[in-house]
Amino acid sequence: MSGLVSLIGAGPGAPEYLTRLGARRLHEADVVFYDRLVDPELLHLAPQAELIDVGKLPRFHKVKQGRIEQLLIEYAQQNKRVVRLKAGDPYVFGRGGEEGERLAAAGIDFEVVPGITSAIAGLAAAGIPITHRDYASSFHIITGHRQKTNGGLNWANIAQQEGTLVFLMGMSQLPQIVAELRQHGKAATTPVAIIQWATHWNQRVVTAPLAKIVSTVRQQKIGAPSLIVVGDVVKLRRVLQAPATPLTGKHILIPAAQPSRLAELLTDRGAFVGRFERSTPQSLPLKLPDFTAYQTLVVTDTVAFAQLQQQLLAAQQDLRVLAHLYLVATSQRVAKGLQKYGLLADACTPLAQLDLSAPALLIIGAAPAQSTQGATWLATYQHRLPTQDQLRPRQYQAAIFPSTQAVADLFNSVAPSQRQQLQQLPSFAMGDQVAAALIAQGVQRVYGSQPSYAKVLEKIERWCQV
């Protein structure tokens, strides 16, 4: 008996191009083998999976193709749900066919989850339709890499095609491609577009006639990964490229959450979103106190309160034992969270403003306990910090922090070099307490806003226009 191997196309780059079936298979996965061009955002969809990087660079393969295929077989033979996550579509120059052959020969059950190929979506993202009734009635997708045993391309045939030509993985061969096309009859004035990092936050596009495209690429320092588009459809870019917005092309760092309304709002405004890992709550053994000895209950976060409720139920008690207590939430976010339990806070007061010398004060929170003088701190859970090895703060133009805990999660889990970069990153704080937490971490540029998505988006759009 074997598990299932899913050969999944991740799409051209932007994570929302992943299909619904691809997202479901990632969520179910025990192990994910992912390529270099896969957006790290997609790996958040596989929270329980072992993640294995098998990405390839030009002329350097971290894991040889034969070994990748063998690993897929070995993990499947352990009855695991295996995902092979590839950029674009598995069967469009993705070696998915080869992997499928090996899996079939080994008797392994597998499926193909198609992805949107960059050869089509990458052009659309740059404002170039791959076909158009007035310009191209066909298209041809050609790889820049050929096995030596397969011989060369039929350039005489390719150059005479009237449709759109799209070359994948061909930047290192661009001068040769141009020379072959011109030698075999393609006009020197034929429009060409080079699309680097198509659909990603750092997408760049240059256009030029065929005779000048090599020098243009060198001048603009365009490299791989890029699409090479040859044909009259390139002329339509001037009309069809998406209009710029204040957040177009901005790469913004936010806390990880699935789903995330903040991410959706940013994306709809043209931004690209990256996420940092959050801490996970780990329950602590708890001896319930005598609640009658207290007059006030202070709740610092809803996770702590949820853990308290679970401990009460385990002890055959419920929230009625708290009915006599004056209920204080330390922020509006906590107050709203308590409403989900049917509770209305009597007051909303930051912890720093409370008299912690009062012995009748019971504070519910996370470990480690703060200095509370006479009050009692009841730690119901502790934060288990993630690793942020893949985080590259220099890739971002700004960050948004919705809570003080999000600030703590990030700054307490990064390396010193990452911390230094984060301190230079413009950061938007949703609320005064969040702003204070960022300043305490040494962040140089902190922009405060009211704690609502609408207000922080308004703030960051104004900042981008300055």
Q: At what angle do helices 213-220 and 174-183 cross, to 10 degrees?
A: 160
Distance (Å, rounded) from C-alpha 199 to C-alpha 125? 6
Which of the following is catalytic: 56, 212, 235, 455? 56
User: Max alpha carbon distance in the chain (Å)?
Assistant: 92
Distance (Å, rounded) from C-alpha 422 to C-alpha 99? 41
Which of the following is catalytic: 30, 35, 232, 346? 35
User: Token digits for 143?
Assistant: 């790889």
Q: How many other C-beta atoms lie within 10 A of the C-beta of residue 99?
A: 23
Q: Give the E-state strand segments of 268-348 in sequence order.
A: 272-276, 280-283, 296-299, 326-329, 347-348
Cβ-contact 371, 379 below 8 angstroms: no
Q: Is 91 left (phi over 0), alpha (psi -120 to 50) or beta?
A: alpha
Distance (Å, rounded) from C-alpha 83 to C-alpha 25? 7
Distance (Å, rounded) from C-alpha 208 to C-alpha 167? 16
DSSP one-letter code for 293: G
Q: Which of 397, 368, 390 is nearest to 380 (CA)?
A: 368
Cβ-contact 311, 380 below 8 angstroms: yes
Distance (Å, rounded) from C-alpha 393 to C-alpha 412? 15
Q: Which residues contact 385 (CB under 8 A, 6 or more apart)?
A: 279, 409, 412, 413
Q: Which residues contact 300 (CB under 8 A, 6 or more apart)?
A: 330, 334, 351, 363, 364, 365, 366
Pairing of strands 272-276, 251-255: parallel
Is 171 one of the catalytic residues?
no
DSSP one-letter code for 2: -
Per DSSP, helices labelled H in 85-127 are 96-105, 118-125
Which of the following is catalytic: 169, 212, 232, 346? 169
- CA distances to 47, 74, 77, 109 from 71, rounded to whole Å, are 21, 5, 10, 14
Location of structure tokens 């709809």: 268
Is 318 one of the catalytic residues?
no
Residue 157: helix, strand or coil by DSSP? helix
Pairing of strands 398-401, 251-255: parallel
Is 56 one of the catalytic residues?
yes
Cβ-contact 117, 92 below 8 angstroms: yes
Catalytic positions, please?
35, 56, 169
